[in-house]
Structure 1
Amino acid sequence: MKAIICTKYGPPEVLQHNEVEKPIPKDNEVLVKIHATAVTASDCVIRGFKMPGNPSFPKKQIMELMMRLFLGISKPRNPIIGLVFSGVVESAGKDINQFKKGNRVYGFTGISRGTYAEFKCVSAKEVAQGELAIIPDNISHNEAAAVVYGGVLAIHFMKDGDIQSGKKVLIYGASGAIGTVALQLSKHLGAEVTAICSSSNIALVKSLGADKVIDYTKDDSINQLECYDFILDAVGENKSSKLKIQCKKAIGENGKYVSVDDGFLKIQPHYLVKLNELIEAGHVKAVIDRDYPLEEIVEAHKYVDKGHKKGNVVITV
């Protein structure tokens, strides 16, 4: 089968197109024919071995060592990276009851990764952990691959935000993969949403329901901040600014500030169930910036590395 191999940690050019053996599913596995995947920020972190967050010495060095032990010393232990996918069930082992051949499915993998390829096996354990679900009928494979990353992360990091009607929510990085879903989710829950983005993305966030927009490229952006009940830093601590520093001071009494770099994501079984409900009801839609074929994944990674994508970059397999 076709697959993209990460030969070592480094720039996008370390990704190479290759032919590898098609996986043979076990009795407790689902074999999925992948139709689409996406280049996520997490994929770029793994490929480039970039530490998330902004730790200082010696914490950074300790975290780098732990990351190498977890992922692989000089290259990923699983050379086929990629976290999200959409496809069709090719076959299901006799111990699998939830899925059958022909089901349209999408997923968010855990430590197995391996979605930059034509086929992937998903185990019964991973199914039980909530890493695979039936695709809603009202979206395509490309849309499913696009929305699942930001959808799962937005649900995870906003779960304790007590977001409801009358509350004020601020989303820093509202035009990215996580931010676009977080914005839509906040509006669905009845909050007044202020979106922070660049000038070129103002129309996008307004189309997704933002009540107010702060352009971080403007000199007076800090003066536009109000007092918020929940603030989500959807870009992570690697990107900082005077505006972001002030955002941390714009929390009201009993309010909460959350960064996507706060702890590690552990997918819960109900995350994809919740995302499906939101998609089927029309409360959340996918935002796709660009679509590349698998053979052009190096170019896709170069584009994502620039840090200015709108929503998601999809890879058609």
Structure 2
Amino acid sequence: MISNHHQSVMFEESIDALNLIKDGIYIDATFGRGGHAQGILDRLGDQAQLIAFDQDLSAIEHAKNTFSDARLNLIHAPFSQMHKVIDELGLDGKINGILMDLGVSSPQLDNADRGFSFQAQGPLDMRMNQTAGLSAAQWLAQANEVEIANVIYEFGDEKKSRHIAAKIKKFQLLQPLETTLQLANIVSEVVRGQKNKHPATRTFQAIRIFINQELKQLSETLEQSKQLLATDGRLSIISFHSIEDRIVKRFIQTNSRQKPLPKGLPIFDQAMTKMPFKDLGKIFASKDEVKHNKRSRSAILRVASKN
């Protein structure tokens, strides 16, 4: 049986960071099973709007079966299409807050058929949107050894990426690589396990990120937020590994740190030099949350406000 339960990390903190306005307009960029969405709706007034994105069709179908709220507008699309959708709705520059939870949801991990888990047998898929693009198995079948090694190293920080890639191609000479446990076993022959960390963790993470173009979509969406947010609108973003957090951190810092003007130049008008965002800092999960939800150990919540 597939569970729809998902325990949202830093639930209260991420919603508090939005500094909700009763009748504001908000975006939940990663709807999942709707934990954050429900938390936001519970705090909003009757005239508020919540626009929720998810590229996973099962998440959208779950929402249609469990949510009945006229304030909620569900969009089956990756969050990188946010600007296009918001522009069509005539809400450009009117969004009061954007929440992004960049983790994979528990129902996705628990469903072996999705191919995200290295601990359960299932087809090697890994697509967030199973209606489009190549599955992990299809990509691994057509990619060469160097391409596979580069992806595993770049997106997984896996030092033994070349050895893993070589093992994958050697395996494929004898039979197709089609299941999660086949890949997990290949990696386990190369990488030694660590306490509380499966040998295949980094490899599965890297291939998932690549298949779904997660970092590209994240960078594009962050740039879009400059136009989407109203003055004083908030960004509230939870990331779970260093690559994602580095992208979010650099975006906020680049767009919030005022560069000193060259000496000898006349003083510019304040409006000409004002930065798009104010960096409101980062938050880690509490010790109590880490104790009860191990997913929160690596989570970082970063918050910024639109100037």
Structure with greater strand percent: 1
Q: TM-score of the superposition, structure 2-length normalised?
A: 0.34
Q: TM-score of the superposition, structure 1-length normalised?
A: 0.33
Structure with greater helix percent: 2
